[in-house]
Amino acid sequence: MTTARDIAVLGATGSIGTSALDVIARHPDRLRATVLAAGRNVDALLDLCRRHRPRHAVIADRSLYPALRDGLRASGLDTHAHTGEALDDLVAGDACDTVVAAIVGAAGLPSTLAAARAGKRLLLANKESLVLAGELLMREAEAGGATIVPVDSEHNAIFQCLPDAAAHAGLQRLILTASGGPFRGRDRASLQAVTVEQAVAHPRWSMGPKISVDSATLMNKGLEVIEAHHLFRVPGERIDVLVHPQSLVHSLVEFVDGSTLAQLGLPDMRTALAVGFGWPERIRSGVSGLDLLAQGGRLDFEPPDLQAFPCLRLAFEALAGGGTGPALLNAANETAVSAFLQRRTGFLNIPALIEDTMTALPAMPADTLDTLADADARARRHVEALLARAA
């Protein structure tokens, strides 16, 4: 029987948050959503509160706090309303023992760190926090006694293939699979005029807008290489990327004895989330088993095209350079993707803006949160200045 869990879902109204709540609702006897947090979508948050009756609800945007408080009261709920300032304390306190970190972007770092320090079971979807401050986060998780279960599908696959330290000793190589995104097979010139709508239309996964654009540029895979480096303590030279358009093999682990293990399943994040809630037990997720014949009966693999998708190369370079490099990469990417989503810049400018930032702001040693936050802020300002100059 799985341990009963009191769960904080951070980013509750998003794609991962909604999937997490779907799994939670399947296990009313042992999984309970006690804290729900969102950025700005107060109506969606109120809907979720009516359905899941959490003890606490958090809206990051303070101007929306009255709407949350009054909406909860009007619905007859005794859920406490909070602004974002309360989030880290709620995450660290006794309102929850398990935290789904699914806020998008570097904004998720403080709450992820709070969960790590407080020794929670941490279902980590917010990959940007690992890219920005991976060493710090892993150190704090270890010191705090937190259990991190990655819920990025690739890392969850590796976690499942590599559950204990003894196996880890014989680990040779990690192979992250990538769907290739909506523009797989296209050359660089043909990507000049792609639209936001085309970029967010992912062929296999349904996800939030930022990660959908990251998948289209292959930056998502670059962020995942850095994420895997921290989670599994493997250097970048021993992490490979393989494009696998069916998105059924979620990643592979190669051992020194010639064995390669892989985890397969339908592309649905509820599997990874159920692994996170139940581990080491297996619980139902609502995802059906994999019928390989029904899925077309084939698994294809091809190398990534670094000419057409330079973001993956930039991420490997940032990881190799170390220090503040990944923080600069991540912040430049967030700013460039946000500008693309607002139609302020073109698709090919995303890698161009990031590369310019990496050249203009060389990586420095990074041992504190302040150094990393400073690099993050400088990269954002640099990209904004480039965008202003182009406008």
Q: Is 180 in the site for ligand NAD (CB under 6 A)?
A: no
State the nearest-atom distance from the C-beta of 102 to ligand NAD, in Å.
5
Using CB under 6 A as the binding rule, the residues of this chain from 193 to 212 that contact ligand NAD are: 205, 207-208, 210-211
State the nearest-atom distance from the C-beta of 87 to ligand NAD, in Å.
7
State the nearest-atom distance from the C-beta of 313 to ligand NAD, in Å.
20
Q: Are 177 and 154 in contact (CB under 8 A)?
A: yes
List C-alpha distances in Å: 190 to 186, 281, 390. 6, 47, 22
Q: Is 214 in the site for Mg ion (CB under 5 A)?
A: no
Query: What DSSP line would sit under 112-123, residue for residue?
Result: HHHHHHTT-EEE
Kind and range of the H or E run holding 111: helix 109-117
Nearest Cα neighbor of 3 from 147, 112, 130, 117 is: 147
Kind and range of the H or E run holding 388: helix 369-390
Using CB under 6 A as the binding rule, the residues of this chain from 330 to 389 that contact ligand NAD are: none
Q: Is 126 in the site for ligand NAD (CB under 6 A)?
A: yes
302 annotated as a binding-site residue: no
Binds ligand NAD (CB under 6 A): choice among 125, 162, 239, 262: 125
> What distance lies between CA 15 and its chain's CA centroid?
11
Q: Is 128 in the site for Mg ion (CB under 5 A)?
A: no
Q: Is 39 in the site for ligand NAD (CB under 6 A)?
A: yes
φ, ψ dihedrals at 264, nearest 5°: -120, 155
CA distance 57 to 37: 6
> What distance lies between CA 7 and its chain's CA centroid?
18
Nearest Cα neighbor of 241 from 316, 348, 171 is: 316
Binds ligand NAD (CB under 6 A): choice among 24, 27, 48, 128: 128
Closest to ligand NAD by CB, 12 or 375: 12
351 three-state secondary structure: helix
**In this chain, which residue has its C-beta nearest to ligand NAD?**
14
317 annotated as a binding-site residue: no
Q: Is 254 in the site for Mg ion (CB under 5 A)?
A: no
State the nearest-atom distance from the C-beta of 39 to ligand NAD, in Å.
3
**In this chain, which residue has its C-beta nearest to Mg ion?**
152
Q: Is 103 in the site for ligand NAD (CB under 6 A)?
A: yes
Closest to Mg ion by CB, 103 or 118: 103
Interface map 153-182 toward Mg ion (x if CB under 5 A)? xx----------------------------
Binds Mg ion (CB under 5 A): choice among 114, 122, 146, 152: 152
Supply the DSSP symbol for 290: P
Beta carbons within 10 angstroms of residue 41's beta carbon: 16
Q: Is 41 in the site for ligand NAD (CB under 6 A)?
A: yes
Cα angle 220, 225, 228 (rounded to 5 degrees) comes to 120
96 interacts with, out of ligand NAD, Mg ion, none, CB within 5 to 8 A per kind: none
Q: Are 269 and 19 in contact (CB under 8 A)?
A: yes
Binds ligand NAD (CB under 6 A): choice among 35, 64, 116, 269: 269
CA distance 133 to 357: 18
14 interacts with, out of Mg ion, ligand NAD, none, CB within 5 to 8 A per kind: ligand NAD
With a CB cutoff of 8 Å and minimum separation 6, the contacts of 329 are: 131, 222, 314, 315, 318, 354, 357, 358, 379
CA distance 199 to 181: 8
State the nearest-atom distance from the C-beta of 310 to ligand NAD, in Å.
20
Q: Which of the ranges 13-21, 140-148, 295-303, 360-368 carries the binding residues for ligand NAD, by CB under 6 A? A: 13-21
Supply the DSSP symbol for 61: S
Closest to Mg ion by CB, 68 or 148: 148
> What distance lies between CA 16 and its chain's CA centroid?
9
With a CB cutoff of 8 Å and minimum separation 6, the contacts of 363 are: 318, 321, 322, 323, 324, 325, 328
Contact positions toward ligand NAD, by CB under 6 A?
11-17, 37-41, 60, 84, 102-104, 107, 125-128, 152, 205, 207-208, 210-211, 269
Provide the annotated binding site for NADPH: 13-16, 39-41, 126, 128, 208
Provide the annotated binding site: 13-16, 39-41, 126-128, 152-154, 179, 202, 208, 215, 220-221, 224
